Structure 1
């Protein structure tokens, strides 16, 4: 767990907006996705690409994980995006609508050909029915792929579904992607919440994502950062219990080990160790 990296809050920022890129240096999010895709008009994409690459290479974003979301593989901007983003060396390149393991391997080959440094990982957005059925193969396709990102807006559109409280239409897809990420040992981020004025709805969805097992949430507004940071961090009670479990385990002599009346097994010890690793990694950011 020593190399755990917090990704509680990962904020999309439009790379065509110079003020937004500057403001991002002060937002207490764990990660940034400097966007060249949905948030940028076609005629602004070349300039946005230059701005995102300059920002990623600047070293001015502190401990934040800085990534660049390129345009999709079926667009005329994709090839140049990959070349320039690879040269800039961000923490990761985020690619929308990844649908197969072959696409992952092709993306990794393109990044390597463009000279992306080893530290630059691939994040694959899974946001189509095809991607859900191929999620396990996508997640396991390359060691360079570090994170799966749920594209829930596109997935709702593809399913002809609706955005509803509790996300019943998406639960099967969310679960499939989670299973795939965990089987491959990769991180996974929940999708965005669209109504930036609905704080209660946003926090409820954060709790749901955390309870399901997501590592964090992608965000569309700075006002959502604090809520995500709190929701995806271990609570004070969880940290206290984790320490108590480890102390009870380390003090064992023989027979059954208990903590506050509960029997403790190896699986509880491993969960406690992860809780403390996450807690320590978050504290190290401040």
Structure 2
């Protein structure tokens, strides 16, 4: 399936070093998994984690879930070995932390070859260079690193995330301009389902494709909020039907619920139905 057509509602971080977590992820209803060799793995475990993860991916069982591996930065002692290892793993993409410019993507691509690259967007320089990063031919997705970004910007935590909206917006615009997947940052209070729902709605309203998660308890809310609702699916079907009817007659203007339906609405409606179908096929596995 083309990467743009796949759902990315829920993108769960899993430690690459823990067999139990790697096994549990095979049965979780997530759209994508970030197998983490960076923050979730201690310095002493870094080398072993590569082998553990390689074996788990070779074993398979992850179905239609997108398999992304986050490596350590190439400026760390583990980064190059991680990149070389991921190039030999059964992964669909490699995620690079703290991407500041397109040159960082170039440096990784020299090691990982044709493997699609995703970028952690979590630095002020990354925000300023989002467009050139998104334009890189190997770049397939952005993941917002909102915790690191908030630290770098010295912002205060606010439930409405107003201090981060400029950064989120810059990355979102760059992603949309270049056909790149855009995944929102994590919600830290993993037991607060109501707070998570509000943040999911905010991200979805902005245009993000999904959200990164730190705990399986967050999956259901995220999947629900990032999926097309029954009302949206119903409206999409009616818009398409009304438009096609007018087209067949060769005259008039299509109207649904008192609003004019134009080409652009029909294109969005078709995308909504395609996303709903992709989600349904993933759930049937």
The TM-score by the shorter chain falls in which range? over 0.9
Unmatched tracts of structure 1, length 5 or more: 113-117
Deviations 1:167-217 (A, max 9, x none): 011000000000000000111000000011211111110110000000000
In 1: Cα distance, 2:47 partner to 2:24 partner: 21
In 2: Cα distance, 1:109 partner to 1:266 partner: 42
Query: Hey, what does 2:245 align to over in structure 1?
Result: 251
1:245 CA drift (Å): 0.3
1:157 CA drift (Å): 0.2
Residue 121 (structure 1) aligned to one of 116, 120, 129: 116
Question: Are 1:222 and 2:216 matched, yes or no?
Answer: yes
TM-score (norm 1): 0.95
* Structure 1 residue ranges (4+ consecutive) displaced by more than 6 angstroms after TM superposition: none
Question: Are 1:141 and 2:136 matched, yes or no?
Answer: yes
Question: Are 1:263 and 2:264 matched, yes or no?
Answer: no
Query: Hey, what does 2:193 align to over in structure 1?
Result: 199
- Equivalent residue pairs, number: 279
**Which of 237-246 and 16-25 deviates more?**
16-25
Deviations 1:241-270 (A, max 9, x none): 000000001101212211121101111111
In 1: Cα distance, 2:106 partner to 2:255 partner: 47
Q: Is the 8 A contact 1:14 1:20 kept in 2?
A: yes
Query: Hey, what does 1:178 align to over in structure 2?
Result: 172
Query: Hey, what does 1:274 align to over in structure 2?
Result: 271
Q: 3-state SS of the aligned residue for 1:87?
A: coil
TM-score (norm 2): 0.95
In 1: Cα distance, 2:196 partner to 2:257 partner: 34
1:275 CA drift (Å): 0.5
Q: How does 1:1-286 map to 2 (within 5 A)?
A: 4-112=5-113, 118=114, 120-142=115-137, 144-252=138-246, 253=249, 254-286=251-283
In 2: Cα distance, 1:256 partner to 1:195 partner: 48
